[in-house]
């Protein structure tokens, strides 16, 4: 197969001949950016004593997010399971750090509460997404 354009062959040959060579360019200093002129902030709020408050952010530059929705309270059975999962290790840790002796039955009760709460939460976990096209990501 023959190429019709000899300039293209020469260009490819130049690329092959100069493979790995760095191009030497005369470094020119980048153009200096023009200084931004400060905006007229004569409408800015002033403090009670008439002085400008440097810590105060102008109203147009402030982001105020919406109030978050209230935290939902889980049903009693699920709340009890979460209490077993997080409460049991917390009580065991408090007894361990404080150096208090714990009755054996209480230790086994706390371990059983942790295991039962964990198993309950895993069993109650939904097996399929709510929406068939849902990939699970939420913002």
pLDDT digits (tens, 9 = 90+) for 51-61: 555 567 666 77
The total number of structural domains that make up the chain? 1
Domain that holds residue 103: 76-124
pLDDT of residue 71 exceeding 60, the answer is: yes
Q: Is 98 a member of any domain?
A: yes
Quick: pLDDT tens for 23-69: 666 667 667 777 666 555 555 555 555 555 556 766 677 788 899 99
Q: Is 62 a member of any domain?
A: no
Query: How far apart are the C-alpha atoms of 7 and 9, rounded to whole Å?
Result: 5
Torsional sign, CA 43, 44, 45, 46: negative
Mean per-residue pLDDT over the chain, rounded: 80
- pTM as predicted: 0.47
Q: Is 106 a member of any domain?
A: yes
pLDDT of residue 105 exceeding 90, the answer is: yes
Average pLDDT over residues 100-116: 94
């Amino acid at each position: 197969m023959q190429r019709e354009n000899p300039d293209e062959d020469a260009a490819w040959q130049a690329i092959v001949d100069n493979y790995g060579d760095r191009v030497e360019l005369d470094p020119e200093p980048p153009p200096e950016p023009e200084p931004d002129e400060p905006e007229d902030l004569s409408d800015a709020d002033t403090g009670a004593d008439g002085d400008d408050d440097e810590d105060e952010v102008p109203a147009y530059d402030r982001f105020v997010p919406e109030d978050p929705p209230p935290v939902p309270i889980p049903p009693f059975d699920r709340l009890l399971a979460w209490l077993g999962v997080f409460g049991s290790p917390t009580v065991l840790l408090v007894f361990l750090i404080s150096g208090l002796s714990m009755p054996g039955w209480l230790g086994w009760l706390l371990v059983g509460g942790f295991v039962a709460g964990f198993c309950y939460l895993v069993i109650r976990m939904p097996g399929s997404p709510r929406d068939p096209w849902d990939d699970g990501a939420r913002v």
